[in-house]
Structure formats: structure tokens, C-alpha cells
Structure 1
């Protein structure tokens, strides 16, 4: 079975490549280029597809919403059309986002797939639109599509654009004597649902095989983690003393104070549950930064 992976160069894509035999699109190929994408799909002729490629940085989606839509919605449409044009009859996994739920009242936690979608940024809107497109194709095309809404990821290889990876980098820089013992943070008195990226990849592989066509699945740990607690754990793992300083530039408006989701549907259909403890995720993240910074 030939598995095509879009977005292979990203954090999750690299983790998938380490875990599963797969074929990536040619380097530099842009999903917005219909002709080049069509030629690549005709050449690869995949049996299954994991569609990860996206513009996924929320601040960038505010700066350039049109580009975000061109990549996330129309790039997905280009991929679907390219697959159909070569007679694809396998299964595709579309990777959406837990961000599509938007502001969720605490009374509605943990979030389930039936919760209404109220996207609050152009990235989340583009993912709602692309998910709806994929659902329609799952019902009307000659191939099956499974839809996932992952929540926060953590683990080695993550970009410091994301909070916990950034904190791990700062902590390791302090430990290596590269910076003063002061950590620059945003609002850390919030909670999030974090899953180790390797557990996420295992969920994707299981859903590609066992998920229901047109089915929508949260991929999450079902656990609520305080950002401040995780930062304190990183400091303890590194064995450093550091002052925590809030940087106004890192504060985001209208922040969701608490977030936790349910993976009940995923567990019901595949038996999946998270296996990697948070302490291991944090340690592996620290080890990764130690290697990169030395």
C-alpha cells in the first residue's frame, strides 16, 4: 500500500515519516499549483493519503487570510480533484483542527465532536471550510475520507513558534549558559489538552484503517494541563533556577481559559488511547533542544 503524505516537512509530517513508510510530494510543490499537483499525483498513484499540508500559524492567517484560504481550502480541493482524476479509490485522512470549535464554555467541556463550530480566526475558518468540502467528497466521490480534529501537540521536533517548545528552548538555553535565567512567557494561567505527537501519529494510522467514512474524530489526550505547570516541570527537568517574566507582546486577546476534549469516538472505533506520559514528552523535547543548541 502506497501512502501519500502531504505536508511531509512539518512537525507532524516528519514524525509520520519516522513511523510509517510513505511517499511525500516533490520538494517545493505548492498545493495551489493545480498542474504540478496533478502531475505528481499521476506519477505517485497512491493507495491512501494523509493530508497534513496547511498554513497552520494563526497569527499569519490574520496577516494574510486570502493566502491561508488558498492553501487550506483550495489546496485541498486541488488535491481531491487530482486524486479523482487518476481514479483514486482508497482512503484519505483529512487533518483539521480542534481550533475549529472556537470559544467553548466551561460547561461544555470536555468538547465532543457534536459541539457546534464557532471558528474565531481565518485559519480555523479555512479548516471548517476544508473539512466540509472533504465531508461532501466522502459522500459523493469514489473514495472514502476520514476527518480528524487534533488538539495541541507536544514532542521532539516542534517549532518554537508553539509555546511549550519555545519554553523548552528557553530553558535549555539557560541551562547551557546561552541566556540569562529569565523566561519570557505570555498568558500561562490557562489550560490546554496536549497529546504527544507520536500518539497523534498512531491515531492517524489507526483511523486511516478503521475510521468511518465521513466520520469526524477528536484526537486529544482527554487531560487538561496547566501551561504554568508544564513550564515548571521543564524548569525542574533542566535543574535550573529561572524567573518567569510576562511579555505583553506574547499575550493573545480573547484567550480560552480552559480546554479539554474527549477522544471517546476515536477510542470506540479504533481502541486508541494515549500512551506516552507527559513527563516523557517534556524530557524528549528538552533532549531534542539540547542536541540542536550544542
Structure 2
């Protein structure tokens, strides 16, 4: 099988590449991204400014079955040329703006970038590859409490510009698939946790801060609102789920990618305190993080489970691996 991954040097892209190459000895992977090739690193930096290194057990960037080209998702001509030459069986579209990017950048990367990719795929003569679009559970937004856990049939009411543009990308890709006969599957990914994670995410932020306090002898941690709940899913399980969707996902269908477990941010903090061995105190400032816009968020996993997917990593194990990564960096 031949796989093309946009956003290949991002967090999910790296985990997905490693999973594919480990799973299929005959697989060929072509990664596309806006950054230059980065062997052994993610494309994001950790505190201190250095790029986050890949966990040693998943460093597949030097595998000869992985090739990489620096191509912007907005460059439709170069994307088409890469597609025509490589002829992938499956495309994983993971290239995306970041949640805190300016609205113009989110529109450009998430909406216009998806449009450029789909137009390039439509232009390929002959059989079309299957497209698996990486979206976000954030498209559901603020939901009536009686609707939990979130199923794929829930109405979407995005609470921020990032989620709005991801929902637009979903709709655009599915429409393109219907009109061209191209199989398009959408995976709505919930809150990812895993080794190498950026510290702008809550799990990475808490872990890095707790370790820094412990190292410096600090005794007090101040955090924002910890009452909100989320569905935390291990990056390795996300990669496995995306592969399942590539193999078995039904065209024009949407699938939640999550753990199916509701966990408060406060529970995550308590778990990390135990893993790190932090002996100090902590306090929270309710309502200071914006999580009150979506106070609860967790998914029903029925559709993905019907394809045979079962998450393999508990949140405790994921957080332990995350702390161990920061300790060894």
C-alpha cells in the first residue's frame, strides 16, 4: 500500500507514519508539509525553543520507505504533481492550522488548503485514492447535557474559529467525494495525549510545569479552570484508528476517534501530580481558561468500535509516558 500524509511532520502525522511502517512491511509513505524535512523531530518546539524530539521507540523518519517533500497544502499544482507521481492508495489529510492561529490563517490552511487538496485529487486520472480527513471533536461545540456521550449524528455548533474551519473542511471534502466518486471518510479526533506533545495542550502544560517545579523546589502550582471535562485519547490509539478508517471506514461517513471516557481536567492534574511525585499545593482560577464555553465534552465510540477498533492505552499509561518523555528530553 502507498500512503500520502499531509502534515506528516506534525504530532499526529509522526505517530501515524510510525504506525503504518511498523504495521505493514511493504508500505510506502510520502509525507507532505510546509516545514523542511526534520529527521527525528516534530515540527513544534517545547519550552526553551528546541524542537520536540521524537520518542526513541517511534523514530521512523530515516526509514527508506518514508519520503518527504516540502510542499504547502495551498500549492495545488505541486500537490497534483506529487499525487500523479506517487499514486497513493490512501491519503491522510492532517495538515491544519493551530487552534490559536489568527482567523485568516485558519481559513487559509483548513478551508482553502482542503479545497486545494481535493481539487488536486479530483484531477488525477483513473481510480481515486481513499481520503481520510483528520478533523476535530471540537466541531460539536457546546451540546445540551442530555446529548452525552456525543454521537456522530449530534448537531454541530462550533465554539471557536478553529472548529468552524474544520467543520467547513469536513463538508467540503465530503461534497467533493460525492461529486467525484472519491471515497472520503472523516475522523473527528478528540483531545490527544502522548509523548512529545506540545506544552500548549493541557496535559503537556501540566506535566512540564509540575516537573519544573519539582526540579526547582517549588511548592505551589496555579492553574486555570479544571472543572471542564474532556475525552482524552492516546496518540498511538489515534494513529491506529486512522488506519482502521483507511481500511474499513465507509465512504461519506464520520467517525469519532476518542477513548469514550469522560475525564475532568482536575482529574488529569491529580493523576499527573501522582506520576511526577509533586509534594506541593495547587490552586485553580475558575473560568480563566475559556473551557466554560464547552464545560463537558466526551464521545460515543460505537461506530468505530463496529469496525473492530478498541483503544489500547489507558489515560494513566498515556500520562506516565508523557512525564517520562519530558524527564528524558
Q: 1:100 aligns with which of 135, 139, 143?
A: 139
Match of 1:213 in 2: 251
In structure 1, what is the equivalent of residue 94 of structure 2? 52
Q: Which residue of 1 aligns with 2:84?
A: 42
Per-residue deviation at 1:8? 1.1
Residue 174 of structure 1 deviates from its aligned partner by: 2.3
Please state if 1:280 is matched with 2:314: no
1:162 to 201, 205, 210: 201
Judging changes above 3 Å, is the alpha-carbon distance between structure 1 residues 37 and 258 closer, same or farther for their aligned structure 2 residues? same
1:203 is matched with which residue?
A: 241
1:214-229 matches, within 5 Å, as: 214-229=252-267
Equivalent residue for 2:210? Answer: 171
1:83 is aligned to: 121
Per-residue deviation, 1:228: 0.9
Maintained 8 Å contact 1:167/1:183: no
1:45 CA displacement: 2.2
Q: What residue ranges of structure 1 are gaps of 5+ in the alignment?
A: none
How many angstroms apart in 1 are the aligned matches of 2:13 and 2:158? 24
Question: Is residue 182 of structure 1 aligned with residue 220 of structure 2?
Answer: yes
Q: Which whole-Å CA distance do the structure 2 matches of 1:212 and 1:249 have between them? A: 40
What TM-score does the superposition give when structure 1 sets the normalisation length? 0.92
Match of 1:33 in 2: 75
Task: Check whether the contact 2:142–2:295 (CA below 8 A) recurs between aligned residues.
Answer: no
Alpha-carbon deviations, 1:111-162, whole Å to 9, x = none? 1111111112111111111111111122121421111111111111111110
- How far did residue 249 of structure 1 move? 9.9
For the 8 Å contact 2:2–2:89, the answer to whether it is kept is: yes
Matching residue within 109, 122, 135 for 2:148: 109
Aligned residue for 2:63?
Answer: none
- CA-atom RMSD in angstroms: 1.8
Counterpart residue number, 1:144: 183
Offset from partner CA, 1:201-246 (integer Å, 9 cap, x none) = 1111011110100011111111111111111111111112122244
Aligned length in residues: 286
Task: Name whichever of 9-18 and 85-94 sits farther off.
Answer: 85-94
Given that residues 25 and 40 in structure 1 are in contact (C-alpha distance below 8 angstroms), is that contact kept between their aligned partners in structure 2? no
Contact 1:146 1:212 (C-alpha < 8 Å) held by counterparts = yes
Say which structure is richer in helix.
Answer: 1
Q: 8 Å contact 1:65–1:122 — kept in the other structure?
A: yes
Residue aligning to 1:129 = 168
Residue 158 of structure 1 aligns to a residue whose secondary structure is: coil
Runs of 4+ in 1 over 3 A off after TM superposition: 245-250
C-alpha contact 1:235 1:242 (8 A) present in aligned 2? no
Q: Report the TM-score when normalising by structure 2.
A: 0.82
Tell me, what secondary structure is at the counterpart of 2:109? helix
Is the aligned partner of 1:24 residue 2:61?
no
Structure 2 stretches lacking a partner, 5+ long: 22-28, 37-69
1:16, distance to aligned residue in structure 2 (A): 0.9
How many angstroms apart in 2 are the aligned matches of 1:186 and 1:50? 35
**Correspondence for 1:69:** 107
Task: Tell me, yes or no, if structure 1 residue 192 matches structure 2 residue 262.
Answer: no
For 2:12, the equivalent position in structure 1 comes to 12
